[in-house]
Amino acid sequence: MTQTEYIVGVDVGGTWTRALLFETSAKAIEKIREQVDTSCDMAISDQIIKMIYNLCKRNGIAVSSLKGIGIASAGPLDSKKGLLIKPPNLPFDYVPLVEPIKQKLNVPTFLINDCAAAVLSEKEFGGGKGIKNLFYVTISTGIGSGIIIDDRLLLGEKGIAAEIGHVTVLPDGPMCGCGRRGHLEALASGTAIARWVKDKLAQGAVSTLPQNQTITTEMIANAAKSGDTLSTAALERAGRLIGQALANLLHIFNPTAIIIGGGVSQSGAILLEPMQAAMKEYTLSPSYLDNLILTRAAFGDEVGLVGALALGRSRYPYTKHNHD
């Protein structure tokens, strides 16, 4: 009889650190979560180590028998050095994660950002199964991507590749959170869509949306579905800009499949149809679109943990080039 093997997936968020113990078969055993200690009494790495100890102890598993630990976190981070760069809510610039955990637990440990985790989750368990060239884009508060080329994760020289939210779409466009102008994220993210609507309302645009109240993209999507012209225009505009950026990425990567995730993509056809129209309009040749698989993400809130599992489990093929 083969001995059951185990993996831990960890998702480091702005508020919660979540850890899930899996069998390598991907069967989930137990999930725990703890609030990120922003008081800084304990290093994140120590918090993760403690969580892993607890998970193992409660399930009668020796920590030393873990086959891998995958950690997903919001970026920016350095996958190669295994550290967080300016993590949200923490007053540090560089927080080492991988080395302290590896040293303490003696288990292979890997760190990637949440978009890379998302594309791995799709590749291993979702719509990207068996696909060698896979492009995942999330349209959420921000816009990010995870890219698999030839079965390997695109990380770049310093592990800071795949930042498609910061591709310039309109050179004279609005300022991006990063301080540059006209980036896709500044034009078509959830934040950007809400801001565009707010500006139009302030200019007196007619809409069924409430005045003088925080407008969310969910409210905009709902209003659009009920026929609100302003909300429809906002999502159509964002969809077209995303489609324009995706056309560029088709020319650059010629992927087999594009998977769209993130809360804003839940708006559905009102966003996705103009997106597809723009992709077609801006694409050099039908070859890029013929047989292209375009699908919605399989995972929602769990994507970080699932991707961390995929990373912890596979380890070698996706990120080999970073650990040669």
283 counts as binding a copy of itself under rule CB under 8 A: yes
Which amino acid appears at position 215 of this protein?
I
**286 near a copy of itself (CB under 8 A):** no
CB of residue 264 vs a copy of itself: minimum separation in angstroms? 20
Residue 191 in the binding site for a copy of itself (CB under 8 A) = no
The candidate with the shortest Cα–Cα distance to 234, out of 179, 283, 181, 195, is: 195
Query: In this chain, which stretch among 37-45, 99-107, 241-249, 303-311 interacts with a copy of itself, using CB under 8 A?
Result: 241-249
CA-to-CA distance for 97 and 155, rounded, in angstroms? 18
Interstrand relation of 257-261 and 293-296 (parallel, antiparallel or unpaired): parallel
| 9/243 with CB nearer a copy of itself | 243
Does residue 175 belong to the site contacting a copy of itself (CB under 8 A)? Answer: no
Please report, as a single letter, which amino acid is at residue 183. H
Q: How many other C-beta atoms are found inside a 10 Å radius of the C-beta of residue 169? A: 17
Contact status: 170 vs a copy of itself (CB under 8 A): yes
Position 129 contacts a copy of itself (CB under 8 A): no
The β-bridge relationship of strands 152-153 and 143-149 is: antiparallel
- The reply on whether position 252 binds a copy of itself by CB under 8 A is yes
Cross-sheet strand order for the sheet of 6-12: 28-35, 16-23, 6-12, 66-73, 109-113
Q: Is 40 in the site for a copy of itself (CB under 8 A)?
A: no
Q: Which stretch binds a copy of itself (CB under 8 A): 48-56, 94-102, 164-172, 218-226?
A: 164-172
| CA torsion through residues 121, 127, 131, 134, sign | negative
- The packing angle between helices 303-314 and 114-125, to 10°, is 70
Residue number, 168 or 216, with CB nearest to a copy of itself: 168
Does 75 engage in binding with a copy of itself (CB under 8 A)?
no
Handedness of CA 58, 62, 65, 67 (dihedral sign): positive
222 binds a copy of itself (CB under 8 A): no
Query: ∠59-62-66 over CA atoms, to 5°?
Result: 95
Under the binding rule (CB under 8 A), the answer on residue 284 touching a copy of itself is yes
What pairing do the DSSP bridges indicate for beta strands 77-78 and 6-12? unpaired
Is 249 among the residues that bind a copy of itself (CB under 8 A)?
yes
Q: In whole angstroms, how close is the CB of 157 to a copy of itself at the nearest point?
A: 4
- From 7-15, 143-151, 193-201, 304-312, span contacting a copy of itself (CB under 8 A): 143-151
Q: What residues line the site for a copy of itself (CB under 8 A)?
A: 76, 132-133, 149-152, 154-164, 166-171, 178, 180, 183, 244, 247-249, 251-256, 281-285, 287-288, 321
